[in-house]
Amino acid sequence: MDKKLSSPLSVSVHLKDGCIYVLDETSLPWEEKYLKVKTLNDALKILSEMKTRAFGQVLLFFYVCVLLEKEIIPEDLASLFHEKRPTFDFKSLAGILRNEIKKDSIFEDKKSNLTESVERLIDNFSIMRKKRAENLALNLPDPASVLTLCNVSGEFVYLYEAMQNMGKKISFIASETRPYLQGARLTFWELNRLNIPVKLICDNQAAWLMERGMVNCVVVGSDRCTKKGDIINKIGTYSLARLASYYQIPFYVLNQFPLDIPPEKIPIEERDYNEVFLYLEGRGRWPYSLYPSFDLTKQHLISGWFEISGEVKLSENR
């Protein structure tokens, strides 16, 4: 491709002049604005209010470590972030940062530099995410009609570029993803603004499309993954996996750091029931709803795992 495509969601959090700037994902697509984070409380508030998520919360964690270097250690920060978003694996991020810092300290007379370690980590993450997209592109059909849920922070832009470079065609179908509508406000917005073929559907329309052969692959992210391949992701993932299995459509996962942990030990974040009524725009909210914000998809429903490390695992049943 002649021109590189760019999405603000790919790197949605920045550190500049002692202040963290966070793209407010809840203001998209109507307004592209950045929120300032100067204190720990600022960061925790932004995290709990879903102002940033997916790769954005990874960046937020690393940059808060830099901002508060003399005030808090990564493991303690991971615990505080965990209280706000209990399903995401912040503990692993703390461990990754510790290991990166140690790489500096093994050299004699070289003092470890947290800022340098974090910037190097983030650069490596960007490289690995693009490589993961390339690995996925190699395994997608041509042409590919990809149904997705929620948003994976710019990686579908990388996937589109990789498919183009391979001479393969791809289009996307984004489920709206209630109640925060990340699929509508983020995925559809970022792809459409770059003229990448994408259509938006309501969450309850997936089976209709699959039955008519309009989807030949499902790709989702993963907030948690076990060594056995079970994943926990945005609520609605399990439903799509079941549908994909029924219609014999490949179901692929972009996952992070598989852990040797039983899935039932992973906490499922239950958010305020009022968020289910966000579509009413303040015109009324009532305590008559449930909002578990994640669900569990067992490994037998998954066709392949594309890890941030570069490893690719394909199921024999795909």
- Contact status, residue 23 vs residue 36, Cβ threshold 8 Å: no
187, 174 Cβ separation under 8 angstroms: yes
123 counts as catalytic: no
Question: Rounded to whole angstroms, how far apart are CA atoms 107 and 294?
Answer: 43
Q: What 8-state DSSP symbol labels residue 6? A: -
List the beta strands (DSSP E) in the chain: 13-16, 19-23, 34-37, 144-148, 170-175, 198-201, 217-221, 224-225, 231-234, 251-255, 294-297, 304-307, 312-314
The one catalytic residue among 24, 89, 223, 230: 223
User: In degrees rounded to 5, what are phi and psi of residue 231?
Assistant: -125, 150
Q: Are 137 and 164 in contact (CB under 8 A)?
A: no
Residues marked active site are found at: 223
